[in-house]
Amino acid sequence: MAGTPGQPIEGMQTVNIKSAGAVAYDDKVIIYAQPATQLPWCVKQYKGLTSEPTLASSNPSFAKLSKSQRQKNALTVWAKVDEAYAQLLKMFPAGQIPPGILSANAIADFTNMDEVVLTKSVETNGFSSRMENPLQRRASLPCV
């Protein structure tokens, strides 16, 4: 409901989501890109139409996640936490950052967390969620 239909890319239907990126989909996959200008490259990677490096091949942290494991996951999200947190803080006027965000940062220390990987997988007893900092494998936090 928040999106508007876009032009198809390589035979995939697309939806533009104002100020939030874009989506391409077919009967097997949904691809979300932020910024929306990244979507054509993502679709070409998915379809095997480009030989440019991917996140999995060009980022040492993400490359540590095996392809077979990523394919078993229902969802794998990799984020540059420190950069995302800095962008989030810019959304609020000085001195008006919501207390919940400040409390979460006091626990997780987002400013000093380079990357995080969130995986959601289907297990025999239901869904499983897991969050890891790939650079510090010592700590693996279950998601609630």
Q: Which of 10-19, 73-82, 119-128 has the highest mean pLDDT?
A: 10-19
> Tell me, what's the pLDDT at 121?
80
How much helix, strand and coil, in percent to the nearest 5, is found in the chain?
35, 35, 35
Backbone angles phi, psi at 113, to 5 degrees: -105, 110
| pLDDT tens-digit readout, 3-55 | 889 999 999 999 998 878 899 999 989 999 988 899 999 999 889 898 887 76
CA distance 35 to 79: 14
> Tell me, what's the pLDDT at 1?
60
Give the whole-number percent of the chain exceeding pLDDT 70. 84
Token pair 């490259």 in the structure block, residue: 41
pLDDT at residue 137 above 90? no
CB-CB contact of 12 with 43 (8 Å): yes
CA distance 50 to 92: 39
Backbone angles phi, psi at 99, to 5 degrees: -55, -35
> Tell me, what's the pLDDT at 43?
93
Higher pLDDT, 51 or 60: 51
CA distance 57 to 68: 14
Residue 111 token pair: 């400013």
CA distance 46 to 141: 30
Confidence tier at 73 by pLDDT (50, 70, 90): confident
Average confidence (pLDDT) over 50-62: 72
The residue length of the chain stands at 144
pLDDT at residue 109 above 80? yes
pLDDT at residue 88 above 60? yes
CB-CB contact of 57 with 63 (8 Å): yes
Higher pLDDT, 58 or 105: 105
Higher pLDDT, 65 or 112: 112
